[in-house]
Structure 1
Amino acid sequence: MFRPDRLIQLRKNKGLTQEDLGKKINSTKGTISNYENGHSTPPSEALVLIANALNTSTDYLLGRTNEAHPDLSDTSKEQAEFEEFINDPEHGIFFKDYLKAPAERREEMRLIFKVLQEKEKGRKPEDRQGE
């Protein structure tokens, strides 16, 4: 069960206002207030974003563990970074479109991506992209 008290504690420990946290997860102060007051429970997507923003686990926010800041392995950190990236609306659109595309279109998208990767292989950090 979602633990509003833990959300409040972690948010305050990070020095974030409800508005700050709302912005970090593409939400509003009112939504965060509702979570903290127990008027609503964050959906799973929002729960993951909150956990990432507060450097904790969804298990801690759900009361499944009492460890607020688990020692994340490199693999877990990479997974958390990937989830944060994929949950960003700007990036997520591409992947959702990719998953909905027919197999032939997905293969075309992979080939285009490979061409772009090859083009960028020799690029130095100071070079402009595409040169």
Structure 2
Amino acid sequence: MSIGKRIIELRENKNWSQRELARRVNLNVSVMNRIESEDRPIKDHELDKLATVLDVTTDYLLGRDSNHGEEYDSLYEINQLLKKYNIDQSGFFDIEKWKSMGPEEIKQLESYFQFIVSEAEKKNKQQD
């Protein structure tokens, strides 16, 4: 993913307009537009300021690191998966939709839960 697309994605995840991000990093909105559309190279001091304001590393913005910050952000990654597979979060947690699941779907769900618990237990044992 390009730097412009990363900036747009991060900005949209914060529900900021391009104007709002430009204000936060002290840039003219037209400059911010050109950075996001990659019509203008980003200067080092702008990169640093964007990384700070967007709560990521400069390496992430430059595509050198797939993590957004110093630590892995599992909630962010889960939200990205929900977006990628077009799963509406409110629908995902809507109990009424779960009530319509049949026996085979419940078995699949149980398998998934077992997998998650098993992986968590493995990780906990490795950390001990």
Q: Distance in 2 between matches of 1:15 and 1:41?
A: 24
Stretches of structure 2 that go unaligned for 5 or more consecutive residues are 73-128
1:66 and 2:41 matched: no
Q: Distance in 2 between matches of 1:70 and 1:10?
A: 16
In structure 1, the partner of 2:8 is: 8
> Does the 8 A contact of 1:22 with 1:28 survive in 2?
yes
Identity %: 29
In structure 1, the partner of 2:102 is: none
Q: Distance in 1 between matches of 2:11 and 2:21?
A: 7
Q: Distance in 1 between matches of 2:48 and 2:42?
A: 9
Aligned residue pair count: 72
CA RMSD across the alignment: 1.9
> Does the 8 A contact of 1:5 with 1:36 survive in 2?
yes
Alignment deviations for residues 45-77 of structure 1 (CA, whole Å, 9 cap, x no partner): 0100000000001001101011113229xxxxx
How does 1:1-131 map onto structure 2 within 5 Å?
Answer: 3-71=3-71
Moved >3 Å (runs of 4+)? none
Alignment deviations for residues 25-64 of structure 1 (CA, whole Å, 9 cap, x no partner): 1111111110111101210001000000000010011010
Shift of 1:2: 5.9
Q: Distance in 2 between matches of 1:60 and 1:49?
A: 13
Q: Distance in 2 between matches of 1:41 and 1:57?
A: 18
Give the SS at the match of 2:40: coil
Stretches of structure 1 that go unaligned for 5 or more consecutive residues are 73-131
Q: What's the TM-score once normalised by structure 1's chain length?
A: 0.51
